[in-house]
Amino acid sequence: MSAVLCFGELLLRLGAPGRQMLLQTPQFEVSVGGAEANVAVALAQFGHSARVLTALPHGPLGDCVLGELRRFGVDTRAVRCEGRMGLYFLVPGAIHRPSEVLYDRQHSAFARHEWTTDEIERALAGVDWLVLSGVTPSLGECAANACERLLDAATERGIRIAFDGNFRSKLWALWRGEPERRLRSLMARAELLFANERDIAVVLGDAPAADCFAHAAARAFAAFPRLERMTTTLREEHSVDHHTLTARLIHRSGASESAPSYTLSPIVDRIGTGDAFAAGVLHGLMERLPDAEALHLGLAAACLKHSIPGDVGRASPGDLRDFVAARGFGVRR
């Protein structure tokens, strides 16, 4: 099995229960998440050695988050420091009212931490893959610079790099962080890119083309010589609770893979489904499966995450195999 390091912020999610609006009720449902942590949890459940490099505040909130990751078998390389916990609020949608995410993570312990060379080098020891997403550099100057340094160090060590575009316009707007320049620099180091046409348009500077993913992938391969594979999910939204999901992967050689389409209805929780997809594809590639099989595992993980509340997917390798094999919905005894 492969050793994977995921770098990013851990968050507490505060969600309105049921389908209520924010503050319609005095209660919140609390869960732990964060894009990179979601990937690490899934990979740990798939049997890989998964680490998370992060910074958390001293105190019970930081302790709670660390305990949750350790419960899933994730190696938490957390730096404890002064500061606050990053939060986000989820207003769950219904029917034709979309869900909404409200961030409260400015000046968090992670966003303000200045990473030392020793912290970076110790985290990378023995690692086969490094996983980052576009969320992390959007958090501010310290986080963006840490991404650059981490990728430089990983490249020097021959560590394979996967990058998820995960463009968050709300977060970039808070500090005018030049997302085009910074994301282009980070994507240039990746051999595996999780991105759609919008992510590529942000970085390479034009509007999404009508022919979508194939055109975006061709532009990415031309711009990023290290890139070997680019993949994404393709989602058709019939309502908030009813989607159709498929996925595509294109190799630098020109080989293209498409996964079957699946109907998802009713959706329990859409948050974290892209992270589950990334973990499933990575799992397949780490197991040296053909691209088509790795893509289908990623789509299986994403589809199954739609059925699970919270940020984190909880599918096992057996769940993925059963999904791909279409073994039905009978009670397992």
Residues carrying an active site annotation: 275
**CA distance linking residue 184 with residue 134, whole number of Å:** 10
Neighbour tally for 242: CB within 10 Å: 14
185 and 148 in contact (C-beta within 8 Å)? Answer: yes
Element (H, E) at 125: none
**CA distance linking residue 26 with residue 16, whole number of Å:** 9
**CA distance linking residue 272 with residue 286, whole number of Å:** 21
**CA distance linking residue 46 with residue 314, whole number of Å:** 10
Going by C-alpha positions, the residue among 301, 299, 307 that lies closest to residue 329 is 307
**CA distance linking residue 29 with residue 17, whole number of Å:** 6
Which residues lie across from 77 on neighbouring strands? Answer: 53
Q: Phi and psi of 215, rounded to 5°?
A: -65, -45
202 and 171 in contact (C-beta within 8 Å)? Answer: no
DSSP 254-297: S-EEEPPPEEE-S-S--TTHHHHHHHHHHHHHHTT--HHHHHHH
Retrieve residue 64's tokens: 């709670």
**CA distance linking residue 251 with residue 262, whole number of Å:** 23
Going by C-alpha positions, the residue among 86, 98, 92, 90 that lies closest to residue 36 is 86
164 and 195 in contact (C-beta within 8 Å)? Answer: yes
**CA distance linking residue 247 with residue 245, whole number of Å:** 7
Q: Which region holds residue 272: left if phi is over 0, alpha if psi is between -120 and 50, else beta?
A: left
